[in-house]
A and B are shown apart, each in its own frame.
Chain A
Amino acid sequence: MRNQTPLFGRWQVQLILLLSLCCSASVFAQDAEISTTAAAIDTAPTEALATTAPEFDTLVKALTQGSLPKRAQTAKKLGQLDDPRVIPIITALQQGSLYAEKSVDPLVAISDNAGNYVNALNGEKIPATQAEPLKRVPINNTMRSQLRTLLASLNLNDKKPAVRLNAVNRMIADGVDEDTIALLQERQKTEPNEDVRDAITTAFALMNLQSEKASVRIDAIAVLRGSLQQEVRSALLDIANNDSDIKVKQQAQFALDSIEDRISAFRLTENIFFGLSLGSVLLLSAIGLSITFGVMGVINMAHGELMMIGAYVTWVVQQLFPNQIAYSLMIAIPSAFIVAGLVGIAIERGVIRFLYGRPLETLLATFGISLILQQAARSIFSPLNRAVELPEWMSGSLVINPVLSITYNRLYIFIFGLIVFFALLAILKKTSLGLKVRAVSQNRAMARAVGVRASWVDAMTFGLGSGIAGIAGVALSQLTNVGPNLGQAYIIDSFMVVVFGGVGNLWGTLVGAMGLGIINKFLEPYAGAVLAKVLVLVLLILFIQKRPKGIFPQKGRAAAD
């Protein structure tokens, strides 16, 4: 028995080691993959240039001259070259943005939407003065469709699965015909990626929908069942309304229904995510409030302005390191915590400590402080809103399928909110400050009697709560503009969260924040954003009727008084 315990312990340690190794290994593997592909991209043009450069140049130049059928041939030859520059040139030609001089050795250029010209051969910019003699390379409809097929097949055989998938989807969007089906059939034989294969199957099915035979159409419908693509839906809708065969019509309707069900399920997921996202913002803003309110019985009306301070800190940090946007958040988070925390401690030492036991007075005094801080922000940073730049890794969105996508900044803020929450929980549960804070919140007099310096704990708690408000400000700055009124917009909502969740209970704050966020987002589609907010407030007032102390009331005899 005595031997087993350490043995078991060692086993655990090994497991953890193993796990961490796995993780790091996979990370390494990913890194390696990325770097090799990057290398491949880097080296590919140079290698290709070495072997095919003269041919490439002549072909491109030939592309701008001669009869249309001849040029179509040239394009095909160009397509057979393994050169990354081919696709942009053919795309430009197909879209009518390829330009060339009228000469034997023409300058070939690609124009963008803004009217700038780039040399098609070496990618150099062409100054406006030289752009004068450039003329658009003409094409006709036949050639346009030929080029499209060519482009599709080029993309279809690309190395990256994402590009191939895109190509197939593009084909589906453009409408499938015999030519594309032939291309796809060719590709399907060698395609290793499952998503791409699925997309190809969808394309076949869409083709088969136009079949004469009802049984083929029904089979195709079965394949399309559950697909979320817009084209599939419209094709099915067409069949459901206009098909000659009643059975096919029915099947199409069933398939449509199943698609609608899936879509509404994803819409629900999206709504829940939006709710959780709003909830995480509320959580971040309410969590600090919950601490100061729960532990010290202090209503801090300046809490919103502490968030505002955090947001301005983010902005200032970005101004200081304009070239390091990606990393500035890493500096902004601790600085916002420290700055807002120090302001909080100053407020506690300067004002609040004289008002303990008089919550209404505290409320008024801190409201005064909030006015001062707001006006100070207006005087220092101007009343105009400042935009904080979003780092690269936070912009854009995670596309899960055609109807569900999640913006990265909301996703990260959600995760960040949870991290802050659990970190705070750990601080309260595991550290000596946390122990003292809990002691003071439960019985101030007793805590003091056993030697806890209540006033020090108060200052630290207030600092902690304010620091978290600062961090919340950093998160907010990633969602909205930074301005003097930033805090005001959130303060009432965060109070509602605290009241809803129950004072002094962090889990209550979590549930309250997420609950209010989700309720808000679910009411919005029916009632509009403003009315949803009003309804939530009304619901909350009614909720307090049933449970005056929130979802999770403070426990124990002290709370009963």
Chain B
Amino acid sequence: MNIFSQARRTLGQPDPNFGAPLDTTKGTILYVEGISVSFDGFRALNNLNLYINEGELRCIIGPNGAGKTTMMDVITGKTKPDEGSVYFGQQINLLELSEHQIARGGIGRKFQKPTIFEALSVYENLELATAADKRVWWTLTQQLNSAQKYRIDEVLLQIGLAELRHKDAGALSHGQKQWLEIGMLLMQNPRVLLVDEPVAGMTGEETEKTAELLVSLAGDHSVIVVEHDMKFVRSIARKVTVLHQGSVLTEGTMDQVQNDPKVIEVYLGE
């Protein structure tokens, strides 16, 4: 590839940014097509195809090593696949963008282990996540405007941490940290939320609250949840995708999936 074609491709590629309109005329917001990834000969993803509709709540399940986290890595730009394509809306090719561009463009990701800024307060965590100009020189002088402050308050209520806004994030409980992380995603005004094992290690009450939160988010956002906890999946899922050995085993409602002989075989053995 010569430098000109590279330049042309870069120029032709709209750089997604906060609030930029996204072409979702076909109703599908995320196209994952024919993705394969291998690590040292081990195929983590094998010709994976996945389509997410706008406003959908999708649960993804699968045994360990099925490639769930790798799939998220590919979508968010952390891992570049060996082959395949990932499109965000009709036009934006995610494979050509880096992590921060994808995040700015409207795909938020929550990690398996809660990762928040422990040295900062809850409020500051949300402040940093706020959709705004995130280039170096702007952040040197930027202050929150009133709309952004309002948005932070809104999200604080949504995730139930309004009372704890000035507490150090490091001092929160495990469940609260998970919610804070989801809140940080919301501050980015994302179109798609990727949520990796949101209820791992949560108490029953916390799990219930998380389920409510995620269900309320669907509609405004497309939400993709990766989870092991079947009870939790059943309580929120409309459509479930089962991954196995790096590709989609089956898709459907929870009941359909649970009665699928292939799924039973994978989960229970022969």
* Interface of A toward B, CB cutoff 8 Å: 555-557, 560
Contacts and interface: CB of A to CB of B under 8 A. Distances in A.
B40 interface: yes
The DSSP consensus for interface residues of chain B is: loop
Contacts of A556: 39-40
B184 to A, nearest CB: 20
A106 B39 CA distance: 91
A88 B134 CA distance: 90
A547 to B, nearest CB: 14
A214 to B, nearest CB: 60
A557 B79 CA distance: 12
Contacts of B79: 560
B118 to A, nearest CB: 15
A555 B39 CA distance: 8
Nearest to A559: B39
A279 B39 CA distance: 31
Contacts of B40: 555-556
A553 to B, nearest CB: 9
A560 B40 CA distance: 11
Interface of B: 39-40, 79
6 contacts: A555-B40, A556-B39, A556-B40, A557-B39, A560-B39, A560-B79
Nearest to A560: B39
A445 to B, nearest CB: 13
B38 to A, nearest CB: 12
B57 to A, nearest CB: 28
Q: Which 3 residue pairs of A and B lie closest in terms of their CB atoms, listed nearest first?
A: A555-B40, A560-B39, A557-B39
Contacts of A560: 39, 79
B104 to A, nearest CB: 23
Contacts of A555: 39-40
A557 B40 CA distance: 10
A338 B39 CA distance: 40
Contacts of B39: 555-557, 560
Nearest to B73: A560
A221 B40 CA distance: 58
Nearest to B69: A557
B220 to A, nearest CB: 32
A409 B115 CA distance: 55
Looking at A555, A556, A557, which has the most chain B CB atoms within 10 Å of its CB? A557
A469 to B, nearest CB: 31
Contacts of A557: 39
A313 B172 CA distance: 55
A363 to B, nearest CB: 22
B171 to A, nearest CB: 21
A442 to B, nearest CB: 14
B241 to A, nearest CB: 22
A507 to B, nearest CB: 15
Nearest to A555: B40
A504 to B, nearest CB: 14
A557 B43 CA distance: 12
B202 to A, nearest CB: 21
A82 B15 CA distance: 98
A351 to B, nearest CB: 26
A457 B40 CA distance: 28
A557 to B, nearest CB: 7
A23 to B, nearest CB: 41
A556 B40 CA distance: 7
B80 to A, nearest CB: 12
Nearest to B78: A560
A492 B254 CA distance: 59
A560 B42 CA distance: 13
A257 B39 CA distance: 51
A301 B39 CA distance: 33
A560 B39 CA distance: 9
A218 to B, nearest CB: 57
Nearest to B40: A555
B79 to A, nearest CB: 8
A207 to B, nearest CB: 66
Nearest to A553: B40
A557 B39 CA distance: 8
A556 B79 CA distance: 14
A557 B68 CA distance: 13
Nearest to B65: A557
A556 to B, nearest CB: 7
A555 B40 CA distance: 7
A560 B69 CA distance: 12
A550 to B, nearest CB: 15
A557 B69 CA distance: 11
Nearest to B79: A560
B114 to A, nearest CB: 15
B243 to A, nearest CB: 16
A555 B79 CA distance: 15
A56 B79 CA distance: 91
A557 B64 CA distance: 13
B248 to A, nearest CB: 21
B207 to A, nearest CB: 25
B44 to A, nearest CB: 8
A17 B116 CA distance: 67
A175 B39 CA distance: 69
A54 B266 CA distance: 105
B159 to A, nearest CB: 27
A161 to B, nearest CB: 57
B138 to A, nearest CB: 28
Nearest to B41: A555
